[in-house]
Amino acid sequence: MYYGSRIIVALDPPDGVNVIDWCLNIVRETRDLVAGYKIGLPLVVRLNSMEDLSILSKAMDGDRLKIVDLKLADIGNIMVSAVKPFIHHGFNYFIAHSFIGCRDGLDVLNSFLRENNAWLITVVSMSHRGSVEAMDDVVEKLLEISVNTGAWGVVAPATRPEIIRFVRKHIGSRAKILSPGIGPQGARPGDALMAGADYEIIGRMITRSSDPRHVVEEINKIHESPLREG
Amino acid sequence: MYYGSRIIVALDPPDGVNVIDWCLNIVRETRDLVAGYKIGLPLVVRLNSMEDLSILSKAMDGDRLKIVDLKLADIGNIMVSAVKPFIHHGFNYFIAHSFIGCRDGLDVLNSFLRENNAWLITVVSMSHRGSVEAMDDVVEKLLEISVNTGAWGVVAPATRPEIIRFVRKHIGSRAKILSPGIGPQGARPGDALMAGADYEIIGRMITRSSDPRHVVEEINKIHESPLREG
């Protein structure tokens, strides 16, 4: 068992596969070497049954981060209704947008999650070019909303390390930083950790490889050096 | 057949019901009297199978607006993957957040929708109190993103008619305005149309009534007067 990995594997199945079988293969090959897994809406809408989520959640080790990334961005009671089945099936971290605000929004979701031993992660910046059009102007406000809500973690993109540095400086140790955008989107493994992130969310680079376990081992090695420096 | 209704029924099933049977009952009672229907994430995660969406979509008349409200807020290719099964099952309008921006975000989604005879609706303001924390400061930017993307419609809350008036003034006739927030959330039927909206999205006031058809008929009557004035 490898402790201290900073890798969260994004389970984004390709077209034309049985999504649960595909995920189970990746999970069984990598679960002793990673910090956790993230599933998203494209996977959820391809499930034969929500019950399959229990199989997937049980295959992940008990203490892994089991993250559901629906990029929730609705009023509080709608978000609560949306997360209930996932909590029921064993998932325990949920990503929502801080853009929607705290009152009657994230505060309602976060209270519900805490009552159910689950945790909130908020998005404060994204990896695509559109993120600069409206979100990046208000990053500070988005961070404030996240901190006020009591989010466990925030999402900021590995593709723009200056945002990660800004976020770390602003929130200190009050929340974890999770960074997507490694691999095909442009950042290299280790870039986000070097800038101050706690976890790197990595999908295709691992899941589309012919040897996911080997790639995970290599990335864990790369991650060790910025961690030692930190 | 009643033409010209401005009602979109939000199908938000209560706990403890079979969601498809519940929706079909409401749809069959009201479909000749309304403009369309909206389903959301809380319904989707309670489906036994995505195939059930075909039954629901077929029960709605062919020319109704069949809106999927996932409040999409992700990078473009993720949103495209998320909407595919819904398009396959006959839904044709999709709600996404404009705050994620156009480039590699909404533009990718909108192109995909247009190629599939489906349409984009963007959120520019919300009905809950958290909407003022980050979104309302940048409404003008969010509208600009929506217009640049070529969205068919925008969502603005009936609870704050001044926002609807601002939106209408800003976008003219370039996009439809759809307004939630009527009933338990505080606005009355007709409030949003009076302020300049094209459609009112109404859920519990209709769906939790003992006689949904009668409520729809009454709201259609209320709507006729602001429409005549307009």
Query: Predicted confidence band at A62 (pLDDT cuts at 50, 70, 90)?
Result: confident
A103 with B135: Cβ contact below 8 A = no
Catalytic residue among A58, A71, A84, A221: A71
DSSP letter string, B79-109: HHHHHHHHHHTT--EEEEEGGG-IIIIIHHH
Where does A7-229 sit in CATH, by number?
Answer: 3.20.20.70
pTM listed for this prediction: 0.96
How many angstroms away from the CA of B102 is the closest CA of chain A?
5
- pLDDT for residue B43: 96
Which one of the listed residues B38, B58, B71, B176 is annotated catalytic?
B71
Is B71 tagged catalytic?
Answer: yes
List of residues 6+ apart from B5 with CB closer than 8 A: B33, B34, B35, B216, B220, B223
B25-74 confidence digits (pLDDT tens): 999 999 999 999 999 999 999 998 899 999 999 999 878 999 999 999 99
A contacts of B85 (beta carbons < 8 Å): 45-46
User: Which of A47, A107, A129 is closest, CB to CB, to B103?
Assistant: A129
Beta carbons of A45 and B82 less than 8 Å apart? yes
Q: Which residue of A has its CA nearest to B98?
A: A134
- Tens of pLDDT, residues B135-176: 989 999 999 999 999 999 999 999 999 999 999 999 999 999
Q: Which residue of A has its CA nearest to B137?
A: A138
| Mean pLDDT of the region B130-135 | 93
Which residue of B48, B133, B185 is the best one to mutate when testing the A interface, meaning the one whose CB has the most A CBs within 10 A? B133
Beta strands in chain B (DSSP E): 7-11, 36-40, 65-72, 93-97, 119-123, 153-155, 176-179, 199-202
* ipTM score assigned to the predicted complex: 0.95
Count of helix runs (H) and strand runs (E) in chain A: 10, 8
